[in-house]
Chains A and B, each alone.
Chain A
């Protein structure tokens, strides 16, 4: 258990409202990731961070922004939520980028419903 928490765990919101999901880790891992998981698509990378204030886009970044002001926190923001962003969102962390054998550790997920 890499000590990853996500908040909130469940959220229902309406189309057009802003939403921020928080990921908090206690392991001092350098890399942090946001994924979304949808039936038939598996886990798809939204954004990732390789250090404080260092972030980059993943394969499905449109409509999402991220921020990392502290090593332990990685925020995912939906500026104006749409129904297509209804999904389960997972945060993950990785010790460093130096070895592919360092596993990614996943949080418990946030279930987001956009009505």
Chain B
């Protein structure tokens, strides 16, 4: 079983819509969760991270962890065409490795 699973999409939304991205993970002991954003033909870059459970907000982005269901989510409010990218969830099983989901490609239509 993969440590983290993510629906690869793709997802296409109109500008201004709320984008909802989700991942599930296998091990309830995981506590560190990340979201990376990857623009086309670029390397991924860290967007947000959360520790344990609950919500974390950063501008239009909200990361949410539900440990009871082993579910992590990323919400993008008031989406913009510049948000068009691939979003990868990741979990940190130890101090030096990351396990990534498959990535969801999002297109925001102007």
Contact = CB atoms under 8 A, between A and B. Distances in A.
Interface string A35-76: 000011111110010100000000000000000000000000
Nearest to A103: B46
Contacts of A40: 8, 102
Contacts of A109: 41-43
Interface in B27-66: 32, 34, 41-46, 49, 51
Nearest to B96: A97
A41 B44 CA distance: 15
A43 B44 contact: yes
Interface residues of A, number: 26
The residue in B44, B94, B100 that gathers the most chain A C-beta atoms within 10 A of its C-beta is B44
B95 A90 contact: no
Given A48-B96, A101-B32, A42 B43 contact: no
The residue in B43, B92, B94, B97 that gathers the most chain A C-beta atoms within 10 A of its C-beta is B43
Nearest to B88: A42
A100 B96 CA distance: 7
Interface residues of B, number: 23
Given A40-B102, A41-B102, A108 B95 contact: no
Nearest to B46: A103
A31 interface: yes
A82 interface: no
B96 A31 contact: yes
20 contacts: A39-B8, A40-B8, A41-B102, A42-B101, A42-B102, A43-B44, A44-B100, A45-B98, A48-B96, A50-B96, A94-B96, A98-B95, A100-B94, A101-B49, A103-B46, A104-B46, A108-B43, A109-B41, A109-B42, A109-B43
Interface of B: 6, 8, 32, 34, 41-46, 49, 51, 88, 92, 94-98, 100-103
Given A42-B88, A98-B95, 16 more contacts: A42-B101, A43-B88, A45-B97, A90-B44, A97-B96, A100-B32, A100-B92, A101-B32, A103-B46, A103-B49, A104-B46, A107-B43, A108-B42, A109-B41, A109-B42, A109-B43
